[in-house]
Amino acid sequence: MPIEERLQALLAAGQASEAVAAGLREVGPVTLRYLRSLLHDEDEAADAFSVFAEHFWRGLPGFRFGSSLRTWSYRIAWNAAQNLRNAAWKRHGRRFASGEASAIAEEIRTRSAEGVSRQRSALDRIRDSLPDEDRSLLALRIDQGLSWAEIAEILSEEGRPVQANTVTKRFERLKSRLAELADQHGLEE
């Protein structure tokens, strides 16, 4: 049974905690990889993942399944990463409070951290030099394999939708810039 159907059945049966836990276990590992590739800092990725898990936990019971679970999850993760970068609490060093979702998030983060390989330092420097939106675009398309429509939905803001063809054009420009940067860093194509 597809995950969306399984979660809807659990929610309909009044088993919200079971649905959220199953959903987090399904999308958690790929979402954490996305946050790691976007933030390039294990502590920031862990903080953003904890925020993501809390928002997922609170939001799933009201989710209408108008988009795929994966798309909705990446949208939450993108917002969590952006909020983390802009949040005053980060500058003061206060960590996000623990809870049941944070415990599952930590379980997923710890388990997946064992299998994470480090990218080569030249590629890290190139990605780090990119703006957040470009890093997110790369991660969603290359690392996560999302469609242009899914990426457009994730990057859209309230009242400012992004079109799939706009994302495609942005990606083409980004590929050209990456080729130049790779050449500057002495990487072969």
Tell me the per-residue pLDDT of 170-179, one tens digit each, with 9 for 90 and over.
Answer: 999 988 888 8
The residue segments making up the domain with residue 154 are 119-189
Question: What predicted TM-score, i.e. pTM, was given to this entire model?
Answer: 0.62
Structure tokens at 29: 């590992």
How many structural domains compose the chain?
A: 2
Which of 64, 88, 117 finishes a domain? 117
Pair (80, 166) in one structural domain: no
Amino acid identity of residue 60, one-letter, is: L
Region for residue 40 given its phi and psi (left: phi exceeds 0; alpha: psi -120 to 50; beta: otherwise): left
Alpha-helical (H) ranges within the chain are 3-12, 16-39, 42-59, 69-86, 88-92, 100-113, 121-128, 132-138, 148-155, 164-184
CATH at 173: 1.10.10.10
SS3 state at 28: helix
Pair (142, 182) in one structural domain: yes
Share the mean pLDDT of the chain: 83
Pair (125, 68) in one structural domain: no
Pair (30, 90) in one structural domain: yes
Pair (60, 131) in one structural domain: no
User: Residues 28-35: what's their mean pLDDT?
Assistant: 93
